[in-house]
Structure 1
Amino acid sequence: MSLTTIIFDLDDTLYPRGTGPLQEVGRRIHQWLIEQMGLEPDEAKVVRRRYAERYGTTLGGLVAEHHVDVDEYLLFVHDIPVERYVQPNPDLAAMLERLPLRKVVYTNATAEYSQRVMQALGIATHFDRIVGIEDVDFRNKPYRDAFERALHLFGGIRGTQAIMVEDMARNLVSAKALGLKTILVNGGPESHIDFVVDHVLQVEQVVDNLLRPDGSTSHTT
């Protein structure tokens, strides 16, 4: 089946790892655990690590193990001035313009926050749709049912019609199982990773190779 859609993760994928607002989101998650759950700072670190390992995100653990106001939590942790952390990226915008596929974003963050980040990067107009954590009933990547819901929201596309670009290898396990081509940004090769690139701008070459009539390409760029 022909490829029609490329799905991008947001944080640490559309901008280089460690340079954007995700670290500030993490700081606010830590603050929320201390203020709302009464944890000591060291306890909050342990809880975040445990939830991330077991559920994929801190929110996943909070939903599974506690009765929390999810909307209030998400509003608090994403209430940051993203323009302080990311600036317009003309090279990224030009690359997205050249990609001959429909472009969408699927993120464990909220759609509203994602829209602000994309606007700050100067790339928002290149994307048809954002699916945020609230759109999949707060069921986060890497869970398969979350990916299935996202594909439905992207118009009922089949996995074999799409490429997923991510910075976290574990988030690509379900994508690969559903038939998506998988591209890992800034990581190492694993069995469920089709291609590894050092930077999101290198995604263009992978896509060009995938769209060749013979489909020939290497698995690293």
Structure 2
Amino acid sequence: WVQKSLDVTFEEAVALRQAYLHRYGTTLGGLTAEHQVDVDDYLAFVHDIPIERYVRPNPRLAAMLSAIPLCKAVFTNATSEHAWRVLRALDVADRLEWVVGIREVDFNNKPRLEAYQRLLAFLHAQGPDCILVEDRVVNLRPGKRLGMTTVLVDATPEEEVDFAVGDVLEVGPLVARLLEAQND
């Protein structure tokens, strides 16, 4: 899409995408900041994939999510429609209360602080009431700044985050320990 829409070579498109991801947090963030693009056309193109071909039901994830006695939301730089498709393919959509996508935060993508402020407004929540689970440290920093408990997945512990787990399935037991400590 970048190659065709900006009339650049494949190599230039790859370089632009990487630069935009680094500078703006997403390719779309860079495209909207530096070019006049049709956002809906871009989102339709990048999300036009046969999800079910690549994503299968995950009963272990479903069980872990069911065991967490808190309201749960997905916060994504994708559209909420795309995220719901992925969640349905994983067979976990009924374990979540909300999906907050790029449109719901008025195209303020992660890791912009404003995206997290809009997320909290959407959820009618305060930062300290939330546990933010992410696989990128850069996307945890704004949440931490707003008082969220931060959990880094699939990575080694970082000083900037509250907790790190090796696998997303470890989030459930971690939340159980946090709730138990809170009740003590």
- 1:41 has 2:48 as partner: no
Whose helix proportion is higher, 1 or 2? 2
Q: Which whole-Å CA distance do the structure 1 matches of 2:181 and 2:53 have between them?
A: 43
CA displacement at 1:54 relative to structure 2 = 0.6
CA displacement at 1:200 relative to structure 2 = 0.7
Q: Which whole-Å CA distance do the structure 2 matches of 1:214 and 1:141 have between them?
A: 29
2:25 is matched with which residue? Answer: 56
| 2:168 pairs with one of 190, 200, 203 | 200
CA displacement at 1:175 relative to structure 2 = 0.4
Distance 1:170 1:215, change over 3 A: farther
Structure with larger RCO (C-alpha < 8 A, sep 6+) = 1
Query: What's the TM-score once normalised by structure 2's chain length?
Result: 0.97
Q: Counterparts of 1:1-221 in structure 2 under 5 Å?
A: 32-154=1-123, 156-213=124-181
Contact 1:106 1:130 in 2 (8 A): yes
CA displacement at 1:69 relative to structure 2 = 0.8
Per the alignment, in what secondary structure is the counterpart of residue 136 of structure 1? Answer: coil
Aligned partner letter, 1:126: R
Q: Which whole-Å CA distance do the structure 2 matches of 1:181 and 1:102 have between them?
A: 15
Q: Which runs of 5+ in 1 are unaligned?
A: 1-31, 217-221
Q: What do you get for the CA RMSD once the two structures are aligned?
A: 1.2
Q: Which whole-Å CA distance do the structure 2 matches of 1:204 and 1:67 have between them?
A: 42
Q: Which whole-Å CA distance do the structure 1 matches of 2:133 and 2:125 have between them?
A: 16
Aligned partner letter, 1:202: E
CA displacement at 1:191 relative to structure 2 = 2.4
Q: Which whole-Å CA distance do the structure 2 matches of 1:63 and 1:215 have between them?
A: 46
Identity %: 49
Q: Which runs of 5+ in 2 are unaligned?
A: none
CA displacement at 1:184 relative to structure 2 = 0.7
Contact 2:158 2:164 in 1 (8 A): no
Q: Which whole-Å CA distance do the structure 1 matches of 2:156 and 2:17 have between them?
A: 24
